[in-house]
Amino acid sequence: MYYLYVIDLNKTKPFAEGGNRRCFIHPEKENRCLKITFMGRSKILKQNAPWYKQLRSEDSFDDNLREKNGYSQRALKINDPYKWKHLAIWYGMVETSIGQASETELIRDRKNNIAITLEKYLLTYGMTAEIKQAILDLESWLRYTLILTKDILPHNIVVSDKDDRLVLKIVDGLGLKSFLPFARIHDFFAKRYIEKRIKRMHARISWDLSGRKGNWK
């Protein structure tokens, strides 16, 4: 007889919440994160989307399923451990008592606290020499691996200080933002796409550092 293992989260509080998902610490594995989409959120996102996006299925608006697709991209199928240098590891989809979850690596700092976001780091400490180098390292990694992200924004990145230097880790926003799939299938388009994402990241960082004056986009 087959038994489905369900992770009990009924008495667990989320450590973070976004617009579409809540994040929980795995009750049995402290270095793993369980991301659960708010009930009915995918339906709302579809209803509020432009008409041409409403032609897509409701599942295409589910952040967990989009994350699953993001981790199945061509660049992550290569057997090279360097691909995880700046990216949280994804372990798959699991069932919990409050819904299906996307299970990923939970990044912690050297004191074993949950790592802060790049957004919080910048607002607290500003553009330090250490974080500037960490951003350059992230850019080099993106250009080398050609891993595609929808948005490389400061709130989707955390700062790890377990090594001798600061290391940025992408924890959300994996996948392709563009409607056309060219970047998924050819390096030429992937490189152009990544440069645009990097430029957008710097625009957002500048906006954060300016005190968020005006429109950053």
pLDDT by residue, tens only, the chain of 217 residues: 555 789 999 999 999 998 899 999 999 999 999 999 998 888 888 888 888 788 888 888 888 999 999 999 999 998 999 999 999 999 999 999 999 999 999 999 999 999 999 999 999 999 999 999 999 999 999 999 999 998 889 999 999 987 778 999 999 988 877 666 778 888 999 999 999 999 999 999 999 999 888 787 7
Residue 181 lies in a domain: yes
Residue 215 lies in a domain: no
CA dihedral 184, 188, 190, 195 (to 10 degrees): -170
Residue 2 lies in a domain: no
Residue 1 lies in a domain: no
Please give the single-letter amino acid code of residue 152. Answer: I
104 is in which domain, residue-wise?
Answer: 16-209
Residue 20 lies in a domain: yes
Residue 190 lies in a domain: yes
Residue 8 lies in a domain: no
In the chain, the number of structural domains is 1
Distance CA 105, CA 26 (A): 10
Residue 216 lies in a domain: no
CA dihedral 193, 197, 199, 200 (to 10 degrees): 140
